[in-house]
Every structure is written in structure tokens, then in C-alpha cells.
């Protein structure tokens, strides 16, 4: 770090840019905001300022301009006394159903760039909303608000009156369904008699196979079937099926065995809806179809998804994310595919800023390619905010 760099000056730079944004922009407040708890994390501050409540929009605006927080949150829950200092004293009245999809929930994103991870989490989010929430659960779009989080993912808020009183266990059941937790083979497939034999005047099944549901069936049955057929097609089209299986996490020795068992005849039987009873084949297709079609909603088995929490704090729409400077931006299912966070959620201008990068950096932002070397650089304000927020640069 050069002598004229100062973390304090860098934080002041971020704080001043955030203040300018809040001075000239009104944030989007949730319904019945007077019943919500508000919380803030300040630049350079330790911990969270919380248990705050506001009855006037202007009071929230005044706080944002005066303190220019790095992160701004509000409660998904409604309370009779939202500014009470203990959760019990707040007196819970109900809560929205919140889905928070973050790129670090998705195993494939670990080795991806920030830009690549934003793309993959967007696809997962679309699947969550369209396939599960709208189709399987039948939630109405009028009760659904979708947002880019400003960081690494997307939020879905469901305000349907029917779900406001659900407790944590009931919300966990929704998560278990979406993630396919404990999905049993017997719930998806049924035995199909392929051969009938008679012996001593008695008729019995001489051969059986597992019958797959049709891809058109609703819920998990059709979803698993579509996932299996996708995998079959990928393997059949692959020039190197063993390598393709390894991409699915199959060990090299197991992949070789599986390819030997997946004869053309068996592959065609699977495409016809008959899942061979070979345990190796059955386990592979069920597990990977489940992985392909379920939604990852937490970073691991012990990480409690946001959805289960009836008192969760969530980012305030149209506030700024302190680690990127990007805006928590409203999207719709129709606009989601074309939404580009590194264009549409950028709020700062092109004014050049001198920074010192602690590593080389490459990214496209505001439809401009940046390929920066370590050391002193002059870059637009929006990129400077992003890099300083992510501790990749400091102000000079």
C-alpha cells in the first residue's frame, strides 16, 4: 500500500458517494413500514444499528442522508412494537415469505467470476419463481415482489395474506419441497411389469422395471422425468460420455461402469419411460435429475435458509449495497432474462477516480471492458465504488 492510501479516506469516499445518492433519490419503502423494524450497518462501524422504527418517510430519508449507511435493512415481519429492544416485546404479527438466492448457495459458482456467478444465480432464481412458486405452489404474481440484492443474488418477497401466519416449521416444509429434500424414489416411480409368466396354473410377474412418469406430469414427478431425459440426451450426444458423467460428479471408475451398463437398448428404454432396475443406473439418474431440477437455497446442510426465519431482516429495495455500490433493484419475471446488474443496478457516474489496486482485475461494467493491472489506475466512479467496496482497491 502506498503512503497516500488510507482506508479511512476510502471509507469516507464511499460514504460521501452513498450520501449523494440518498440526497437525490427516494428509496422504495415496504407496505406498512411503520410496523417494520429497520436496521443499518455503517461504513467502518462495528455491528448493526437495529430496533429502529419510523412513522414518517421523511425520517427514514433523513437518516439515510445523514448517516449514509453501507447496508440498509428492514424486517420481513410486522410488529406491534417494532422499536422494542427484545423480540418478545416487539409482539410479532406475521411475516412475508422471503426467498433469498445467493450465488454462494450454488456449488458450480465457486470457481466462477463475479459476472458468471450472477448469470447462474439468475437462472436458478427464474426456476425458483416460475417453476416452483408460480406453478407448483400457485402463488399469484400480484403478491410477489422480485429484486436483485445488490450483491450476489436475488430476493423474492411473497405478501400473500394466506402465508403471513406460517411458523418456521411450516416455512421449512416449503423449503424442503423446493430443494427436494428426502424425495423418495417410490414417490416418483412405480413398478411396471415387463414380463408375465405362469407356473402350475398360477400367473406371476416374470420381469419388472421402474416406470417413469411422463414429462408433462405436474410437480416433482414430471420435473424428475424431464431431468432424466435431459441427462440421457446429454450423454447420448457427448463425444466422451465418461467425461460427461464426470462433470456430474461421477468417479472415473464408476463412470466407466455406468457407460458399459448404459447400452443403446437401455438408453432407449429410459427414453421410452422405463428406468432400468440396475441400482447403479437408478441411483445415478435419480440423484442427478434431482440435483439438476431442485433449487439450492442455502450454503450447506447446516445453513438455515432465510425462508424459514419469521423475523428476518432483508435489504431495503432501492438502497445501496455497501460491498458493490449496486442498487437493490426491482425486477419482474418478464424483465429478469434481460436484466444485467452490472448495467441496470449501477447508479454512479463516469467521473474519474484514482485508486490503487491490490490485484489485477478484469470485468465488464456499464458495457465497458476493464482489464486493469495491479497498482495505480484512474477509473470511473461506479467502478471505484465497486472495487473499494470489495476491498480490491483503495482511494489515492
Q: Which of 303, 334, 356, 369 is catalytic?
A: 303
Q: Which of 102, 264, 276, 344 is catalytic?
A: 102
Angle between helices 219-237 and 264-271 (to 10 degrees): 150
Does the active-site annotation cover 230? Answer: no
Question: What's the rounded Cα separation, in Å, for the pair 347 and 365?
Answer: 12
Question: What's the rounded Cα separation, in Å, for the pair 179 and 93?
Answer: 28
Does the active-site annotation cover 100? Answer: yes
**String of DSSP letters for 66-90:** HH--SEEEEESEEESSTT-SSHHHH
Question: What's the rounded Cα separation, in Å, for the pair 155 and 228?
Answer: 29
Angle between helices 279-293 and 219-237 (to 10 degrees): 110
**C-beta of residue 129 within 8 angstroms of C-beta of residue 107:** no
Contacts of 300 (CB under 8 A, 6+ apart): none
Q: Which of 100, 130, 264, 272 is catalytic?
A: 100
Question: What's the rounded Cα separation, in Å, for the pair 136 and 133?
Answer: 6
**C-beta of residue 216 within 8 angstroms of C-beta of residue 206:** no
Question: What's the rounded Cα separation, in Å, for the pair 297 and 97?
Answer: 14
User: Would you please indicate which residues are annotated as catalytic (active-site) residues?
Assistant: 100, 102, 303
Amino acid at each position: 500500500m502506498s503512503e497516500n492510501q488510507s482506508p479511512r479516506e476510502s471509507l469516507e469516499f464511499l460514504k460521501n458517494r452513498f450520501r449523494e445518492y440518498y440526497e437525490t433519490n427516494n428509496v422504495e419503502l415496504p407496505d406498512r413500514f411503520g410496523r417494520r423494524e429497520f436496521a443499518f450497518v455503517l461504513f467502518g462501524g462495528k455491528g448493526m444499528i437495529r430496533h429502529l422504527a419510523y412513522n414518517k418517510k421523511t425520517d427514514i430519508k433523513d437518516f439515510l442522508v445523514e448517516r449514509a449507511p453501507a447496508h440498509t435493512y428492514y424486517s420481513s415481519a410486522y410488529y406491534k412494537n417494532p422499536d422494542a429492544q427484545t423480540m418478545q416485546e416487539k409482539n410479532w404479527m406475521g411475516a412475508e415469505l422471503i426467498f433469498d438466492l445467493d450465488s454462494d448457495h450454488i456449488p458450480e459458482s465457486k470457481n466462477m467470476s463475479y459476472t458468471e456467478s450472477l448469470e447462474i444465480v439468475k437462472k436458478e432464481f427464474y426456476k425458483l419463481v416460475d417453476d416452483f412458486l408460480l406453478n407448483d405452489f400457485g402463488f399469484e404474481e400480484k403478491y410477489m415482489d422480485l429484486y436483485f440484492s445488490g450483491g450476489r443474488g436475488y430476493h423474492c418477497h411473497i405478501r400473500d395474506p394466506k402465508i403471513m401466519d406460517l411458523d418456521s416449521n411450516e416455512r421449512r416444509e416449503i423449503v424442503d419441497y423446493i430443494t427436494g429434500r428426502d424425495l423418495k424414489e417410490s414417490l416418483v416411480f412405480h413398478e411396471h411389469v415387463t414380463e408375465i409368466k405362469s407356473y402350475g396354473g398360477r400367473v406371476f410377474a416374470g420381469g419388472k422395471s421402474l416406470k417413469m412418469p411422463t414429462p408433462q406430469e405436474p410437480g416433482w414427478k414430471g420435473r424428475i422425468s424431464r431431468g432424466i431425459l435431459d441427462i440421457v440426451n446429454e450423454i447420448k450426444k457427448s463425444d466422451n460420455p465418461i467425461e460427461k458423467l464426470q462433470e456430474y460428479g461421477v468417479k472415473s471408475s464408476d463412470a466407466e461402469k455406468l457407460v458399459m451398463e448404459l447400452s443403446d437398448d437401455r438408453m432407449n428404454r429410459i427414453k421410452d419411460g422405463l428406468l432400468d432396475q440396475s441400482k447403479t443406473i437408478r441411483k445415478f439418474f435419480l440423484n442427478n435429475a434431482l440435483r439438476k431440477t431442485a433449487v439450492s437455497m442455502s450454503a450447506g446442510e447446516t445453513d438455515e435458509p432465510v425462508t424459514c426465519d419469521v423475523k428476518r431482516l432483508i435489504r431495503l429495495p432501492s438502497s445501496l449495497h455497501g460491498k458493490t455500490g449496486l442498487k437493490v433493484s426491482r425486477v419482474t419475471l418478464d424483465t429478469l432474462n434481460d436484466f444485467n446488474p452490472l448495467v441496470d443496478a449501477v447508479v454512479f457516474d463516469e467521473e474519474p477516480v484514482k485508486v490503487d489496486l491490490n490485484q489485477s482485475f478484469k470485468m465488464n461494467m456499464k458495457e465497458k471492458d476493464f482489464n486493469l493491472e495491479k497498482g495505480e489506475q484512474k477509473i470511473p466512479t461506479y467502478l471505484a465504488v465497486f472495487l473499494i467496496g470489495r476491498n480490491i482497491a483503495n482511494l489515492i
